Amino acid sequence: MTRKLVIDTDPGVDDLMAILLALGSTDLDIVALTTVFGNVPVELATSNALTILEAAGRGDIPVARGADRSMSGAPGRPAFHIHGRFGLGDNPMPRPNGRPVPEDAADLIISRATESPGEITLLAIGPLTNLAEAARRNPVLPGLIDEVVIMGGNAYVPGNATPAAEANILQDPEAADIVFGLSWPVTMVGLDVTNEVVLTPSQIARIAEGDGPVRSMLARAMAGYQRFHEEETPGYRGLCPHDATALCWLLDNASFGSVNRRIRVESEGLGRGKTWPVDVAEPGDGAWSDRPAVTVAVSVQAELVADFICGRLSAAPAG
């Protein structure tokens, strides 16, 4: 059976890879992309989402613009040094022909969930502001959603944005704490597993090979993202497709190991943005006790997943 999927995204090089993987998956029906500030400001995220879909020949999929800042009003901290000046590298992207739909991201999530109760999966690969806002506007939303899969957080490994926090969660810890506390089935595909899945230089070259708008978009975007990874970590070769790995959980969670944890998100001081796990079997103290269980991915067959991503992306239509 095909799953109806809404991807909440801040494209972003690994977002591009996740979106293309999803477009190429016959068991997924992408009903919309919703955008959020994060890797880039939301205007650019929205324009990139439209451009990606048009290059892939899927300009029919609606795009809804979402939050331009965190729930507490803090402006985003774009990651141009990682994803390039234009979010998909340092070259300007072609301007899209299409425009975002009039409703915003939170309203679109609510309307799709209301039209198809129990059928929508949300894949959140940016800060969690739109999801928290949608649930604030419509408190029955969690009961209408099939599953929420999040690329974000770090249970038992250090952060990547700070020693404590992963980038998506750090951009809006308050929203993340709300999303992990709602009564919908949530899976956290965080750095515990996404750091392990690495595309090697030869896999990157294989994906980039060939012509066409999709291929050249991927090639240009991956080049700068690979450079960032290699310059940041001496001895590192390749790149880490965080968001595409989260999509792989949806396609084949047998390649992952997981545990059930209650999650709180730190909002204060040096630890701001840290996702704190507590075993559901433990009583926990007051801060965790009323929290639902979250499925937390903690291990992955990394080479298998990297091979899968490489195989699918190198076979993706050139556009």
Shortest separation between residue 117's beta carbon and Ca ion, angstroms: 27
Residue 181 has φ and ψ, to the nearest 5°, of -100, -5
Shortest separation between residue 55's beta carbon and Ca ion, angstroms: 18
Shortest separation between residue 42's beta carbon and ligand BDR, angstroms: 14
Alpha-carbon distance of 24 to 123, in angstroms, equals 16
Q: Which residue is nearest to ligand BDR (CB)?
A: 167
Q: Which residues touch 134 (CB under 8 Å, ≥6 apart)?
A: 105, 106, 107, 109, 110, 141
Residue 81 annotated among the catalytic residues of the structure: no
Angle of helix 42-55 relative to helix 213-232, nearest 10 degrees? 130
Q: Which of ligand BDR, Ca ion, none sits in contact with 258, Cβ below 5 to 8 A by type?
A: none
- Interface contacts to Ca ion, rule CB under 5 A: 10, 12, 15, 125-126, 243
Alpha carbon separation from 252 to 20, 39, 155, 191, 304 (Å, rounded)? 16, 27, 21, 18, 11
**What number of other Cβ atoms are within 10 A of residue 150's Cβ?**
29
- Interface contacts to ligand BDR, rule CB under 6 A: 12, 14-15, 39, 79, 82, 125, 151, 160, 166-168, 242-243
Alpha-carbon distance of 88 to 211, in angstroms, equals 17
Shortest separation between residue 284's beta carbon and Ca ion, angstroms: 30
Q: Which of ligand BDR, Ca ion, none sits in contact with 79, Cβ below 5 to 8 A by type?
A: ligand BDR
* Choice between 119 and 230, CB closer to ligand BDR: 230
Residue 271 has φ and ψ, to the nearest 5°, of -90, 5
Catalytic residue from among 8, 10, 104, 172: 10
Residue 83 annotated among the catalytic residues of the structure: no
* Choice between 106 and 165, CB closer to ligand BDR: 165
* Choice between 144 and 244, CB closer to Ca ion: 244
Tokens of 128: 């969690």
Residues labelled as active-site residues: 10, 242
